[in-house]
Amino acid sequence: MSVWIMIWKVVFVIALSAFAVLAVGATIGGARDVVTLLNKLKQDRSNTKSDQ
Amino acid sequence: MNATPEQVVELLRQTNFSTLDWAIVVVYLCVSLVIGVWVKQYATDMAAYIGAGRSVGVWLGVATMTGTELGLVTVMYSAQIGFTGGFAAFHIAVIAGLVTFVVGATGFVVAPLRALGVLTIPEFYERRFDRKTRVVGGVLLSVAGVLNMGLFLKMGSIFIVGVTGLSPDSGALTVVMTVLLLLVLAYTVMGGMISVIITDYIQFVLLSFGLLLTVGVAIWRLGWENIFQVVAAEKGAAGFDPLQGEGEFGPEYVLWMLVVGLIGCAVWPTTVARALAMESTQAVRRQFMWSSISFTARFLIPNFFGICAFVFFSTHSTEMRELFLSPLPGGASSAFTPSLYAMPVFLGHLLPTGVLGIVAAAMIAAFMSTHDSYLLCWSSVITQDIIAPLAKSEMTDQRRIFITRLLIVAIGGFLLFWGLFYPLEGDTIWSYMAITGAVYFTGAIPVLVGGLYWKQASTAGAFSALLMGFTALVGLEPVRQTLAKTLAPVMGDSETIAAALSAERCGLAALLLTCVMFVAMSLLFPDTRPDARQRD
């Protein structure tokens, strides 16, 4: 049982640390991507309007 | 001592949730709704409505995929598994993370699907096989998908009722279910995938930091070593070793989780929909490799909350221990399921006012981000893969969007009905979801994998494998019980038969059956014409 306890402790610490890093990365990078996405959709919409 | 219904209500009311917490939740909901409705202006055609114009970057892809797959229902059922199974439940998280990383590194299924430029999985069925397979695949996918999300609404509402201290018997559950549903429907109907992705991003930010904060507070209040010691004392080795047959899991369960983990990232339509919305196949791979972290965390953190709830109720007070860890007396409270209420009630006791409001808003964010994606996914499959192929004339984008919106509302109505009337006894939520999902994925695995990687895969093989997926329904608790009672006169004790027909065994058997059918029928009835990819 003590081996399993050690395994789950290590797994938990590693997974949680990785998730914290991911949360920060995706928050910053995601904000940039949202702006890019909206700009592209805005561009698409004006292209559609000019085609009409 | 057994708790009376009045004592149950009184104990549940002992929460730190206050007016300030309600205010935080309401402000969050308003902001989310306004943004979701604001981006409606960009949903001008079907590709934008259901695929966000295929312009999603890697980080936004990671955030939105995490937001979708880390739903409140995931938090609830994972907490339930952690509460009942202890640390042994962590094996589900480890398997999910490893499998997602391998799929990302190899591009297995998701990269070739994105390269083909299809909008939905059944669209691939038509390109590879024929239109009939697309329609059958669409029907199966939508039936399984809608059934699969049948309990989402109820789980979300149980969380809110549990954390806020409302009475589970007072009708509060129904009111909360209705309000939550109306909120999600409002912005999903209007803005489609663009609303879903933008709101998912906001929900991801709130949810990630809310979860991390809660883990910190839980460890601080309960003590790191104490959590392990209490589980060891109460559950013994079965609380840590997932392979122990006498615990909650065992080797068959672990194998079943390996299959479910693969499906969760490579075949499940809401995840694949995210891959199909990415800007390139390279971005898809990176998205999956990064998401392996969140695919681990989405099980691991709620498992941990369930474990902490178990430790808290084991050691907090005699009343709480009786209420949550002893079998419930028949008449105590019909709407009260201890293993489901444990985590939200625990959070209501653990977190201070203010922090509780932020965490509740984060959990509601989790609820909404999953609902919106699932509603959009199943409704667009019905429109694109069932109604449009069967329509006599070509449907315009505006007509498709209109039908998709109507379907979103109709599925919402079903969720309310199903959540109110489906009996929760017997199945854990996770088993229910794995089995309803299996109706689709047991057929979809051979058809997708074979269709992409095996030249001899034929329409007859695909068609029969998809239909065979329905055999997975045997794994549902009401079906198992009925079958066991029917077979009892010829095969012996009905309880033994029901136990032998475990959910994981039924799921694995259904998968084996669909694979055998797919290969056998493909070899016996090969296609006489090349598939659409070769014709193109």
Greater confidence (B525 vs B156) lies with B525
Residues of A in contact with B44 (CB under 8 A): 44-45, 48
Residue B223 touches chain A, beta carbons under 8 Å: no
Measured between CB atoms, which of A8, A34, A40 is closest to B198?
A34
CA-closest candidate to residue B268, choices B112, B463, B109, B67: B109
Cα–Cα distance between B368 and B72 in angstroms, integer? 8
How many interface pairs between A and B have CB atoms less than 8 angstroms apart?
129
Residues of A in contact with B214 (CB under 8 A): none
Q: List C-alpha distances in Å: B70 to A25, B134, B200, B410.
A: 17, 29, 11, 24
Q: Least CA distance to A27: which residue of chain B?
A: B205
Q: List C-alpha distances in Å: B358 to A52, B203, B218, B333, B533.
A: 46, 12, 15, 29, 50
Question: Residues A29, A33, A35, A40: what is their CA dihedral angle, to the nearest 10 degrees?
Answer: 160
pLDDT at B325: 75
Residue A14 touches chain B, beta carbons under 8 Å: no
Q: List C-alpha distances in Å: B527 to B51, B127, B199.
A: 32, 13, 44
Measured between CB atoms, which of A15, A30, A41 is closest to B53?
A41
Cα–Cα distance between B369 and B360 in angstroms, integer? 14
Residues of B in contact with A12 (CB under 8 A): 90, 300, 304
Contact yes or no for B231/B240 (Cβ under 8 A): yes
Instruction: Tell me what the pLDDT averaged over chain B comes to.
Output: 82
In this model, does residue B328 exceed pLDDT 70?
no
Contact map slice: B 285-344 vs A, CB within 8 A:
290, 293-294, 296-297, 300-301, 304
How confident is the model over B277-301, as a mean pLDDT?
Answer: 87
Measured between CB atoms, which of A15, A26, A40 is closest to B296?
A15
Asked whether the beta carbons of residue B60 and residue A29 sit closer than 8 angstroms, the reply is: yes
Asked whether the beta carbons of residue B56 and residue A19 sit closer than 8 angstroms, the reply is: no
pLDDT at B44: 62
- Tally of residues, chain A: 52
Q: Least CA distance to B232: which residue of chain A?
A: A1
Residue B58 touches chain A, beta carbons under 8 Å: yes
Q: To which residue do tokens 């929900």 refer?
A: B203
Asked whether the beta carbons of residue A33 and residue B57 sit closer than 8 angstroms, the reply is: yes
How confident is the model over B343-350, as a mean pLDDT?
Answer: 87
Asked whether the beta carbons of residue A4 and residue B87 sit closer than 8 angstroms, the reply is: yes
Tell me: the pLDDT tens digits for B420-439?
A: 777 666 556 777 787 788 88
Domains in chain B: boundaries = 5-420, 429-536
How confident is the model over B38-66, as a mean pLDDT?
Answer: 69
Residue A41 touches chain B, beta carbons under 8 Å: yes
User: Per residue, what are the HEC states of B36-91?
Assistant: HHHHHHHCCCHHHHHHHHHCECHHHHHHHHHHHHCCHHHHHHHHHHHHHHHHHHHH
Cα–Cα distance between B30 and B239 in angstroms, integer? 42
b/e code B427-461 from CB counts within 10 Å (16+ = b):
bbbbbbbbbbbbbbbbbbbbbbbbbbeeeebbbbb
Q: In this predicted structure, which of B6-15, B161-170, B379-388, B511-520 has the lowest mean pLDDT?
A: B6-15
Provide the residue range defining the domain that includes A38: 17-52
Residues of A in contact with B58 (CB under 8 A): 29, 33
Q: Determine which of B44, B46, B56, B59 to mutate to test the interface with A (most A C-beta atoms within 10 Å).
A: B59
Cα–Cα distance between B176 and B360 in angstroms, integer? 14
Residues of B in contact with A35 (CB under 8 A): none
Cα–Cα distance between B463 and B125 in angstroms, integer? 10
Tell me: the pLDDT tens digits for B154-206?
A: 888 888 888 887 776 667 878 888 888 888 787 677 666 667 777 778 878 88
Within its chain, how far is the Cα of B263 from the centroid?
12
Residue A35 touches chain B, beta carbons under 8 Å: no
| Overall domain count for chain A | 1
Q: What is the ipTM of this complex?
A: 0.87
Give φ, ψ of B130 to 5 degrees. Answer: -150, 180
Task: Name the percent of chain B in helix, strand, coil, to the closest 5.
Answer: 80, 0, 20
Categorise residue B94: left if φ over 0, alpha if ψ from -120 to 50, beta otherwise. alpha
Contact map slice: B 63-92 vs A, CB within 8 A:
63, 66, 87-88, 90
Q: Which architecture, in CATH terms, is B5-420?
A: Up-down Bundle (1.20)
Residue A9 touches chain B, beta carbons under 8 Å: yes
Asked whether the beta carbons of residue B300 and residue A34 sit closer than 8 angstroms, the reply is: no
Cα–Cα distance between B333 and B3 in angstroms, integer? 9
Is residue A31 assigned to a domain?
Answer: yes
Q: Which residues contact B535 (CB under 8 A, 6 or more apart)?
A: B529
Q: To which residue do tokens 């960009």 refer?
A: B42
How confident is the model over B224-251, as a mean pLDDT?
Answer: 89
Tell me: the pLDDT tens digits for A1-52?
A: 789 999 999 999 999 999 999 899 989 988 888 888 778 777 777 776 666 5
Tell me: the pLDDT tens digits for B368-393?
A: 777 877 888 888 889 988 998 888 78
Contact yes or no for B274/B265 (Cβ under 8 A): no
CA-closest candidate to residue B259, choices B13, B15, B503, B1: B503
Treating both helix axes as pointing N-terminal to C-terminal, what angle do B251-266 and B429-453 enclose, rounded to 10 degrees?
A: 60
Residues of B in contact with A32 (CB under 8 A): 57, 59
Cα–Cα distance between B294 and B284 in angstroms, integer? 15
Beta-bridged to residue B278, according to DSSP, are B56
Shortest CA gap B414–chain A (Å) = 33
Cα–Cα distance between B416 and B181 in angstroms, integer? 8
Measured between CB atoms, which of A12, A33, A44 is closest to B300?
A12
Q: Least CA distance to A42: which residue of chain B?
A: B42
Asked whether the beta carbons of residue A8 and residue B55 sit closer than 8 angstroms, the reply is: no
Residues of A in contact with B236 (CB under 8 A): 1
Percent share of chain B, pLDDT over 70? 88
Q: List C-alpha distances in Å: B362 to B25, B160, B285, B336.
A: 9, 11, 28, 24
Is residue A12 assigned to a domain?
Answer: no
Residue A50 touches chain B, beta carbons under 8 Å: no
Residue A12 touches chain B, beta carbons under 8 Å: yes
Give φ, ψ of B278 to 5 degrees. Answer: -75, 160
The winner for highest mean pLDDT among A25-34, B216-225, B279-288 is: B216-225
Give φ, ψ of B245 to 5 degrees. Answer: -65, -30
Q: Which residues contact B380 (CB under 8 A, 6 or more apart)?
A: B49, B50, B119, B120, B404
Contact yes or no for B321/B313 (Cβ under 8 A): yes
Residues of B in contact with A43 (CB under 8 A): none
Is residue A23 assigned to a domain?
Answer: yes
Categorise residue B193: left if φ over 0, alpha if ψ from -120 to 50, beta otherwise. alpha
B493: DSSP letter? -
Write down the H helix ranges in B223-328: 224-235, 251-266, 269-276, 281-315, 318-325
Cα–Cα distance between B223 and B119 in angstroms, integer? 48
Q: How many helices (DSSP H) and strands (DSSP E) are in chain B? A: 26, 0
Cα–Cα distance between B416 and B418 in angstroms, integer? 6
Q: Which residues contact B473 (CB under 8 A, 6 or more apart)?
A: B435, B439, B479
In this model, does residue B331 exceed pLDDT 70?
no
pLDDT at B333: 46
